[in-house]
Amino acid sequence: MPVLPTKLPHTGTTIFTVMSALAAEHGAVNLGQGFPDFGTDPALLQAVTDAMAAGYNQYPPMTGVPALRQAVAAKLNALYGSAYDADRDITITAGGTQGLITAIHACVGAGDEVIIIEPAYDSYDPAIRLAGAVPVGVPMTLDYRLDWDAVRAAVTPRTRALVLNTPHNPSGRIATADDQRELAQIAEQHDLFVVSDEVYEHMVFDGAAHESVARHPGLRERSFLVSSFGKTFHVTGWKVGFVAAPPALSAAFRRLHQYTVFTVHTPTQHAIAAYLADPAPWQGLSGFYQAKRDAFRAAIEGTPLKLLPCEGTYFQTVDYRAVSDKTELEFARWLTTEVGVAAIPLSVFYQQPQERGHVRFCFAKRDETLAKAAQCLQALAGRRA
């Protein structure tokens, strides 16, 4: 047999798959992989059925169903004071991941460098490498803030783009208006593209605002804004998202999009377009998840786990060093097999793993799931791994 070549020789199975399998094997509460264990609004499910019954079962336009693109543009423009055009600037994608990889391929090529902020979601690095480019990891500060001095120091003549993620997975931090001004200055000075992963845009807590690149005219003109209906409407398995970008960037994006997925599931697009007519579901999302965050934090506050700030997303990071000296991966495995709760080690989100004694829990779960997990974690008192 011929040897199969690979463009990702050092990439294995994702940590999310590994930890979910371990949780299933040991009957642990899975707070590792970031998906809800509760259903979506029955009205949205009915809207998909209605769309299929209405005959929306053939190819839609390559860029997406017009009604959905119009709804997305209207929401972005109302929220962020932007000026996205539904026909030129909005493309419906097969989830956020496809939007990210296509945006990266649209703006970088062989030998280019792309800055990623670490800890970084695990799809960024391979997407950049598949484009023939070089990912350059820039660590956040010790309290998971964006380190703009370190970003500036990482820019070289080969730097072509920067990938931003806010609200940030895995840390749960959010970018501020000052952060966006810093990014705009750097991007304009060095003529960089920005790929902005904003899939948790409607999960920002304690009255804070989501600082989208769409808010800043200088950033908007050089950015691909990526988001996900799967995250917003609790339907991660549907894999439907969107990318918003100005005309020149959208044209480059669509040139690749048409030869990768071409388009996205037709009845689901029509259903989401109809569902977006009522803004209440996404407008209430921050409050919905803040209540889960607060309840989960309160339930484990008395354990030896130190709670770190959670300003957005549906992830809670904790410091476990009062419990164990194990590496983060070892501790996550021990927590799953011996305590009965699966978590994700933050060390895997770096090019060169950093051991800080931190793991991440997902609280996008039913109240009874979180209560069960908290009960298991409360048993950590007085234990050492």
Same-domain check for residues 158 and 81? yes
Asked whether the whole model's pTM tops 0.85, one would answer: yes
CB 71 within 8 A of CB 95: no
Same-domain check for residues 109 and 170? yes
Per-residue pLDDT of the chain (385 residues; tens, 9 = 90+): 888 888 888 777 788 899 999 999 999 999 998 889 999 999 999 999 999 999 999 999 999 999 999 999 999 999 999 999 999 999 999 999 999 999 999 999 999 999 999 999 999 999 999 999 999 999 999 999 999 999 999 999 999 999 999 999 999 999 999 999 999 999 999 999 999 999 999 999 999 999 999 999 999 999 999 999 999 999 999 999 999 999 999 999 999 999 999 999 999 999 999 999 999 999 999 999 999 999 999 999 989 999 999 999 999 999 999 999 999 999 999 999 999 999 999 999 999 888 999 999 999 999 999 999 999 999 998 778 7
Residue 385 maps to a domain: no
Chosen domain end from 245, 278, 311: 278
The DSSP secondary-structure symbol of 305 reads: P
Same-domain check for residues 252 and 348? no
pLDDT score at 383: 79
Same-domain check for residues 134 and 208? yes
pLDDT score at 353: 84
| Domain CATH for 369 | 3.90.1150.10
Please state the φ and ψ torsions of residue 133, each to the nearest 5 degrees.
Answer: -95, 180
Same-domain check for residues 157 and 191? yes
Give Cβ neighbours of residue 325 (< 8 Å, ≥ 6 apart). none
Please name the amino acid found at residue 272: I
Please state the φ and ψ torsions of residue 146, each to the nearest 5 degrees.
Answer: -70, 130
Same-domain check for residues 270 and 306? no
Find the helix packing angle between 367-378 and 285-300, rounded to 10°: 20
Q: How many domains is the chain built from? A: 2
pLDDT score at 54: 98
pLDDT score at 5: 85
Same-domain check for residues 170 and 295? no
Distance CA 28, CA 25 (A): 8
Residue 49 maps to a domain: no
Same-domain check for residues 213 and 257? yes
Same-domain check for residues 239 and 319? no
| Domain CATH for 236 | 3.40.640.10
Residue 50 maps to a domain: no
Same-domain check for residues 170 and 241? yes
pLDDT score at 33: 87
User: How many other CB atoms are there within 10 angstroms of residue 6's CB atom?
Assistant: 8
Same-domain check for residues 129 and 145? yes
Give Cβ neighbours of residue 326 (< 8 Å, ≥ 6 apart). 334, 385
Distance CA 363, CA 359 (A): 13
Say if residue 167 is preceded by a cis peptide, omega within 30 of 0.
yes
pLDDT score at 169: 96
Domain carrying residue 144: 58-278
Closest CA to 28 of 381, 291, 367, 361: 361
The answer to whether the Cα torsion of 106, 110, 113, 115 is positive or negative is: positive
Please state the φ and ψ torsions of residue 78, each to the nearest 5 degrees.
Answer: -70, -40
